[in-house]
Structure 1
Amino acid sequence: MSLKSFAAKIFAKQVVKKSQQWIENPVETQQRVFNQLVSNASATKFGKDHDFNNITSYEDYKARVPVRDYEGLKHYVEEVVEGKEDILWPGKPIYFAKTSGTTSGVKYIPITKDSMPSHIEAARNAILFYIAETGNAAFVDGKMIFLQGSPILKEKNGVKLGRLSGIVAHYVPGYLQKNRMPSWETNCIEDWETKVDTIVDETLKEDMSVISGIPSWVQMYFERLEQKTGKKVGTIFPNFKLFIYGGVNFEPYRAKFNELIGRTVPSIELFPASEGFFAYQDSQTAKGMLLLLNSGIFYEFIKSDEFFEENSNRLTIGEVELGVNYVLIISSNAGLWSYNVGDTVQFTSLSPYRVIVSGRIKHYISAFGEHVIAKEVEQAMQAALKNTDISINEFTVAPQITPKEGLPYHEWFIEFENAPKDLETFAATIDKEMQEQNTYYDDLITGKVLQPLKITMLQKNAFTSYMKSLGKLGGQNKVQRLSNDRDMANKLSDYKI
């Protein structure tokens, strides 16, 4: 055992022990975070506009601060972007995480000197929890890679601006600098395909032990490695011991990854966003990710099936239930207040509080009142693939409201790696799973309002080509799993077989 791996084990135990203090006192922890946020922001423009000085309880807060999305906070954010101080949070942010929204265009999410450490500590602690639980620490001696956006930052009125993953690249601790891959120069390459090819060349002869990134883009990296060498990734990197991912559900990719690697590699799931680092997988045996209640974020939850109702009920951590789909609302030390992140979560445990990401509140299908969410289509796909040799690269689902003939239906656009011999049977299996999961969908099928789903097979690399056409290839960009219209479907139709 190396000195570095020995030290990592000791440090991991210390961090886990310290974390138990807030894990075992969740409601009190969130109340403390709430009090600190309101107190610290009371002299800001937002705090004055919403009478923070007279807030003495969460009920007071709810009465003064409505739930907003980016559009609702935009006029405050614009003042921050203009360089004004003390608007949403004391002083000025140290970064803007630049993201693209479906309705807001470019979004500038503030990151402050108070919120930035939570992004770094959470990513670190996810690995330390893994080490503490498993005792596996040898991977710290190998090379590590995170497939991320460019770390080149621009500036806007004195505040640095870039993608979150590019910002985080500036915070790699000194003890990992020698282990870090790819080189800084390669990381700065903007064109994703060129970048992946260069990363392949750089890492091919390295002792890679940890590989991290959004699954779809790591898959591209693995495929390029196999194309270049004719070998499985696990053979190229015999000491590859840990895969770290976030952003999307890994299950639809798992079979393909196992095939590309040639063996099973342990993994850690993360739940990061530009708005904050919300959760990470704290156990290899328990389902879900530990919700971070002590990281400068106060959480509220609204049942997703009530979200669009007027005066929908806002809940705190002590009021949530298992298995219910909630819209995630945050207030944070980055200056976001009752902010709708757009993600939906379900709790898998209440002691400790663990969640899974079930989808996006704006990404659903309810063209006929079925309320289908990402978690349902992903579980249906996973069930259909189980115990078969069928494998997929990517898929998305959209409603077909006005077919040329017959009843409307859900259209599944699937890029197969290994297609089923009987497509109709495969589609029927998925449809059966969907009916079992979603009673609304089942009622529409049995009531002859919808016909069973249909599959449109897409050419190899169809989703890569589609994302490239949008200028969203690589980085933190993800394929949208569900659409409630035909915009994406119509573009993907160009790639159908």
Structure 2
Amino acid sequence: MSIKSFAAKIFAKIVLKKMQQWAQNPVETQQRVFIKLISEAQNTAFGKDHDFKNIKSFNDFATRVPIRDYEELKPYVERVVKGEENVLWPRKPLYFAKTSGTTSGAKFIPLTKESMPYHVEAARNAILCYINETGKADFVDGKMIFLQGSPEVEEKNGIKTGRLSGIVAHYVPSYLQKNRLPSWETNCIDDWESKVDAIVEETKNQDMTVISGIPPWVQMYFEKLQETTNQKIGDLFKNFNLFIYGGVNYEPYRAKFESLIGRKVDSIELFPASEGFFAFQDSQKDKGMLLLLNSGIFYEFVEAASFFQENPKRLTIGEVMTGIDYVMIISTNAGLWGYNLGDTIQFTSTKPYRVIVSGRIKHFISAFGEHVIGKEVEESMNKAMTKFGFSITEFTVAPQVTPSEGDLPHHEWLIEFEKPPENLQEVAAFLDAEMKQQNSYYFDLIEGKVLGPLQLRSLKRESFREYMKSEGKLGGQNKVPRLSNDRKIADALIKIQP
């Protein structure tokens, strides 16, 4: 055992003990965060506009601060972008994380002196929890790769702007820098396909022990490695045993990953976003990710089923239950207030509070009132892959409101198969039965002949990659929505078929 791996084990025990202090006192912890946020921001423009000085309780806050998405908060953000201080949070933010919004164009999410350290600390603590639970620490001596956006930033009105993953690259601890790949120069390559080629060349002869990134883009890296070396990833990197991921559900990719690697490897799931680092998988044994209650973020939750009603009930951490889909609302030390992140989550445990991401409140299908969410289609797909033995590269689902003559309206599942099933119709029938079991609205619409059974469309290889490239979203933190309530993505995918 090296000195570094021995030290990592000791450090892991210290960090875990500190985490347990707040995890075992969730309501009190969140109350402290809430009071501190309101106090810090009471003299900002937003704080004055919403009477923060007279907020004494969560009910006061909920009365004064409505739930907003980015578009509704945008007038305040634009003032910050122009260089105005003390708008959403004291002073100016250190950075803007620039993201590509689906409805708002480019989004500029503030990162402040107070919020920035939590992005780095959470990723570190996820690894330390893994070390403490498994006793495995030798990987810290090998090379680690983090597939991410360019670390280059621009500066405007005294605020640096770039991709979150690239900004975080500036904060990698010095003790990890010599183990970290790819090189700074390679990370700055803008074109994703050229960047992956360069990463393959830099890493193919290295002792890679940890690989991290969004699954579809790590898969592309693995495929390029295999194409270049003609070896399984597990044979090429004999000490690679830990995959760290976030952004999308890993399960639809797992079979393909294990085929490319040639064996199973441990994995750690993260729940990061430009708006904050919310949770990470703290145990290999328990389902879900530990919700970070002591990281400068105050959480609210609204049941997804009632979210679009007028004045839906806003719950705090002590009021939630397991097994219910909630829209997660955040107020943060980066100056986001009553902010609708857009994600839906479910609690898998309340001692401690662990969550899974169940979908996006904006990514759903309810063209006929069925309100199908991401978790339902992903669970159905996973069961179908297990039953029929096929594997996929990617898939998305869209409504078909104007079907061919003689057909009822239906849901169309567009799938790029890695290993196709023998009988598509059999798979379609199975998926439809699973969806009816999971979603009572869908069941009623099918039984009432308002909707016809779902239909599958098999896409050519590389379809999703071609689509993402055409949208300028190939690589980095970008991902294809599992669900759309319109046919924009579906029609674009169909258009590129031969």
> TM-score interval w.r.t. the shorter chain?
over 0.9
Q: Which residue of 2 aligns with 1:490?
A: 491
Q: Does 1:8 find its partner at 2:8?
A: yes
Q: Which residue of 1 aligns with 2:32?
A: 32
> 1:458·1:495 contact (CA, 8 Å) conserved in 2?
no
Distance in structure 2 (CA, Å) of the matches to 1:242 and 1:387: 27
Q: Does 1:304 find its partner at 2:299?
A: no
Q: Which residue of 2 aligns with 1:94?
A: 94
Distance in structure 1 (CA, Å) of the matches to 2:453 and 2:254: 26
Code of the residue aligned with 2:104 in structure 1: it is S
Code of the residue aligned with 2:485 in structure 1: it is N
Which consecutive segments of 4 or more residues in structure 1 shift more than 4 A? Answer: none
Distance in structure 1 (CA, Å) of the matches to 2:416 and 2:57: 51
Q: Does 1:346 find its partner at 2:346?
A: yes
Q: Which residue of 2 aligns with 1:409?
A: 410
| Other structure's SS at 1:393 match | strand
Q: Which residue of 1 aligns with 2:445?
A: 444
Distance in structure 1 (CA, Å) of the matches to 2:7 and 2:343: 37
Q: Does 1:471 find its partner at 2:433?
A: no
Distance in structure 1 (CA, Å) of the matches to 2:289 and 2:450: 38
Distance in structure 2 (CA, Å) of the matches to 1:463 and 1:297: 35
State the Cα deviation string for residues 160-203 of structure 1 (Å, max 9, x = none): 00000000010110000110000100000000000001101110
- What are the equivalent positions in structure 2 for 1:102-181 lying under 5 Å apart? 102-181=102-181
| Other structure's SS at 1:185 match | helix
State the Cα deviation string for residues 231-279 of structure 1 (Å, max 9, x = none): 1100110000100000001111111111110000000000000000000
Distance in structure 2 (CA, Å) of the matches to 1:156 and 1:107: 15
Q: Give the drift of 1:496.
A: 3.7
> 2:388·2:427 contact (CA, 8 Å) conserved in 1?
no
- What are the equivalent positions in structure 2 for 1:96-495 lying under 5 Å apart? 96-405=96-405, 406-495=407-496
| CA RMSD across the alignment | 0.7
Code of the residue aligned with 1:246 in structure 2: it is G
Code of the residue aligned with 2:242 in structure 1: it is L
Q: Give the drift of 1:421.
A: 1.1
Query: Which structure 2 segments of 5+ residues have no match?
Result: none
Distance in structure 1 (CA, Å) of the matches to 2:16 and 2:229: 41
Code of the residue aligned with 2:276 in structure 1: it is G
Q: Give the drift of 1:100.
A: 1.3
Q: Does 1:82 find its partner at 2:82?
A: yes
State the Cα deviation string for residues 65-96 of structure 1 (Å, max 9, x = none): 10001111111111111111111000000000
Distance in structure 1 (CA, Å) of the matches to 2:27 and 2:102: 34
Query: Which structure 1 segments of 5+ residues have no match?
Result: none
Q: Give the drift of 1:27.
A: 0.2
Distance in structure 2 (CA, Å) of the matches to 1:434 and 1:255: 22
> 1:457·1:496 contact (CA, 8 Å) conserved in 2?
no
State the Cα deviation string for residues 340-384 of structure 1 (Å, max 9, x = none): 011110000000000000111100000011110000000000000
State the Cα deviation string for residues 311-365 of structure 1 (Å, max 9, x = none): 1100000000111100010000000000001111000000000000011110000
| Other structure's SS at 1:473 match | coil
Q: Give the drift of 1:495.
A: 3.4
Distance in structure 2 (CA, Å) of the matches to 1:136 and 1:430: 39
| Other structure's SS at 2:301 match | strand
Code of the residue aligned with 1:5 in structure 2: it is S
State the identity as a percent.
70
Distance in structure 1 (CA, Å) of the matches to 2:458 and 2:497: 6
Q: Give the drift of 1:387.
A: 4.4
Question: TM-score, normalization: structure 2?
Answer: 0.99
Distance in structure 2 (CA, Å) of the matches to 1:262 and 1:454: 33
Code of the residue aligned with 2:420 in structure 1: it is A
Distance in structure 1 (CA, Å) of the matches to 2:220 and 2:125: 27
| Other structure's SS at 2:489 match | helix
| Other structure's SS at 1:386 match | helix
State the Cα deviation string for residues 106-131 of structure 1 (Å, max 9, x = none): 11000000000000000000000000
Code of the residue aligned with 1:223 in structure 2: it is E
Distance in structure 2 (CA, Å) of the matches to 1:443 and 1:238: 52
Distance in structure 1 (CA, Å) of the matches to 2:437 and 2:283: 29
User: For structure 1, which segment, 330-339 or 383-392, has the greater mean C-alpha deviation from structure 2 after superposition?
Assistant: 383-392
Q: Which residue of 1 aligns with 2:46?
A: 46
Distance in structure 1 (CA, Å) of the matches to 2:138 and 2:145: 16
Q: Give the drift of 1:447.
A: 1.6
Code of the residue aligned with 1:411 in structure 2: it is E
Distance in structure 2 (CA, Å) of the matches to 1:275 and 1:71: 14
> 1:291·1:353 contact (CA, 8 Å) conserved in 2?
yes
Distance in structure 1 (CA, Å) of the matches to 2:387 and 2:322: 29
Code of the residue aligned with 2:174 in structure 1: it is G
